[in-house]
Amino acid sequence: MRHDGLCCTGESGPQLKDELIRRGFNPIRVRTVWDCFGHSGTGIVEFNRHWNGLNDALLFKKAYQEDGHGKKDWLSGGGAADSSLYAWLANTDDCYRAANYIGEYLGKMGDLKSISRFAEEEARKDHKLVVRLNVISENIQSRLRMLDEKISKTSIKLKCETEEKDKILHGYNQGVTL
């Protein structure tokens, strides 16, 4: 068990991911972290980068806090006597201020955001999607108008040719009966 404020894994990433899934969490990946001495005994649990993933991460954090295996419990020395997993959500201190390999890893690979920044990014993505869908819709509407025009022109032409055929047929029938 390490005493540098890190979550110990003891198992491989896929095994831990399977265990977390059995417990009802929805991680997309569990990365074990290695340092210059080998496996560090820590892992990083990743969740989807959308609102459902945030909800899953918050439930994950809450479950470990309620079990007495959250960050405060670890920092108060609870991990020294307990070999169970300790877990928490990474924050600025963990990602950018921690002078250890986890801090380095999260600083390079992590994507720490505030909820307001996350909401802004989601709103920006939604806006881009709406704009793209509007362009697609306008293109489809334009094609439909062009097809309507073609159908209308073809219908008029067909009507004129049918009338012409009827006149010719009528004239022929008039000439045959005489």
In this predicted structure, the answer to whether residue 11 has a pLDDT above a threshold of 80 is no
The residues near 86 (Cβ < 8 Å, ≥ 6 apart) are 7, 8, 64, 69, 70, 71, 73, 74, 78, 79
For the ranges 63-67, 87-91, 102-106, 137-141, the lowest mean pLDDT is seen at 102-106
Tens digit of pLDDT for each residue in 40-65? 677 888 888 888 888 998 999 999 99
> CA torsion angle for 119, 123, 126, 132 (degrees, to 10)?
-150
What pTM does this model have? 0.61
The pLDDT of residue 174 is 86
- Termini Cα distance of the chain: 114
Per-residue pLDDT band at 126 (split at 50, 70, 90): very high
CB of 173 closer than 8 Å to CB of 166: no
